[in-house]
């Protein structure tokens, strides 16, 4: 996919209390600034797919006029590096460059190293992630999107090995997936999907929990969707260890959320938990002194406030009745 012109991202607001709109916007024409770097040198290094392009549009006051085309390469289409040793030596310098063209090239090299030479980059992964987060914050859309694509490849390559470095990346992914540049938003959402499929859920869920209570409703919604995708990957034993009562309480808290995305994620999660509970009635809870559990209704009423239990039962009973009536 190529963007012939990309205009700069607006400054990303802080995590708390930001009021960002959902994924909206026009992909078709978004201007980027003139490339200051040596494009041919970058091509020879195989760093990025960037082609010179004549742009005849007149610049507006204070606006940048795009003069090059950035081609966003899907992971499966990235080829191996010709000189791995040289690329490793110049990688950090490229990621730190003030030339956005060179930064995009270094990010694509990071992706290639993660895919084809993950062990070779492992020792410098901490420094790479720090600079990757910096690129995610970059106001230039081309750099930001390439960094988001890079994060997805890094998640797939290193998974649990990088769980301690996830927090700063997670903050940016939740923010970028909640803002109004559609093609940036979509790249962030793909990275979040890669994250939930790459990390062990028992490690990832505690990282997501604080964002379920974030003051920004869009952050909560994206976190809820990630949480919902991760829980089924726990399996029965994982749910047993995490505590099905704790998971139900977390899902119930999202049912009354401001945004429909949060409420829908909670509904899907509750149906999953109800299915597990009814198939495995002796599944222990986080309270070992609990008596033998009865019906789903009794369990919800014993673990939740009356209002929360009523909301959960309404959602799960309506969904069950819909399944029965359609069969």
**72-199 topology per CATH:** 1.25.10
Query: Looking at residue 70, what is its pLDDT?
Result: 74
Structure tokens at 274: 């109800």
DSSP assignments along 7-54, one per residue: PPPPPPPPSTT-----S----S----PPP-S-HHHHHHHT---EEE--
The whole-angstrom distance between residue 267's C-alpha and the CA centroid of its chain comes to: 21
Q: What is the pLDDT of residue 228?
A: 97
Any idea where the domains of the chain sit in the sequence? 72-199, 200-320
Distance CA 50, CA 3 (A): 11
Element (H, E) at 246: helix 244-254
Distances (CA, A) of 270 to 64, 244, 249, 250, 253: 49, 10, 10, 10, 11
pLDDT of residue 288: 52
CATH 3.40.50 for domain 200-320, yes or no, is no
| pTM given for the model | 0.76
Neighbouring-strand partners of residue 137: none
The full DSSP string for 78-123 is PPPPS-HHHHHHHHHHHHH-S-HHHHHHHHHHHHHHHHH-HHHHGG
Please check whether residue 177 is in contact with residue 222, taking contact to mean a CB–CB distance below 8 angstroms: yes
* Tokens 């191996």 found at: 80
Separation of alpha carbons 131 and 106, rounded Å: 11
Across the 327 residues of the chain, what is the mean pLDDT of every consecutive 10-residue run?
A: 41 43 41 40 42 32 42 94 97 97 97 98 97 97 97 98 96 93 94 98 97 95 97 95 95 96 97 94 61 81 96 86 46
Which residues, including other chains, have CB under 8 Å from residue 14's CB and lie 6 or more apart? none
């Amino acid at each position: 996919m190529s963007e012939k012109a990309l205009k700069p991202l607006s400054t990303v607001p802080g995590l708390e209390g930001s009021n960002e709109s959902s994924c909206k916007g026009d992909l078709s024409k978004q201007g980027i600034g003139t490339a200051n770097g040596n494009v041919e040198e970058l091509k020879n290094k195989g760093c990025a797919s960037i082609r010179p392009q004549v742009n005849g549009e007149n610049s507006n006051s204070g606006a940048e006029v795009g003069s090059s085309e950035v081609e966003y390469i899907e992971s499966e289409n990235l080829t191996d590096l010709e000189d791995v040793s040289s690329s490793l030596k110049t990688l950090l310098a490229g990621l730190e460059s003030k030339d956005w063209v060179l930064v995009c090239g270094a990010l694509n090299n990071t992706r290639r190293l993660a895919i084809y030479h993950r062990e070779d980059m492992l020792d410098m992964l901490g420094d790479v992630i720090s600079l990757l987060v910096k690129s995610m914050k970059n106001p230039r859309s081309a750099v930001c999107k390439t960094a988001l694509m890079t994060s997805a490849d890094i998640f797939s390559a290193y998974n649990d090995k990088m769980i301690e470095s996830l927090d700063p990346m997670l903050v940016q992914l939740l923010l970028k997936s909640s803002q109004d540049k559609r093609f940036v938003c979509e790249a962030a959402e793909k990275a979040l999907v890669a994250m939930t499929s790459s990390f062990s859920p028992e490690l990832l869920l505690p990282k997501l929990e604080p964002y379920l209570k974030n003051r920004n409703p869009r952050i909560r919604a994206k976190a809820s969707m990630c949480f919902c995708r991760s829980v089924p990957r726990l399996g029965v034993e994982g749910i047993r260890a995490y505590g099905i009562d704790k998971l139900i309480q977390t899902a119930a808290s999202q049912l009354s959320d401001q945004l429909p995305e949060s409420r829908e994620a909670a509904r899907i999660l509750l149906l999953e938990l109800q299915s597990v509970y009814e198939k495995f009635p002796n599944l222990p809870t986080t309270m070992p002194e609990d008596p033998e559990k009865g019906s789903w209704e009794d369990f919800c009423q014993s673990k939740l406030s009356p209002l929360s239990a009523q909301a959960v039962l309404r959602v799960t009973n309506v969904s069950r009745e819909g399944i029965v009536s359609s069969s």
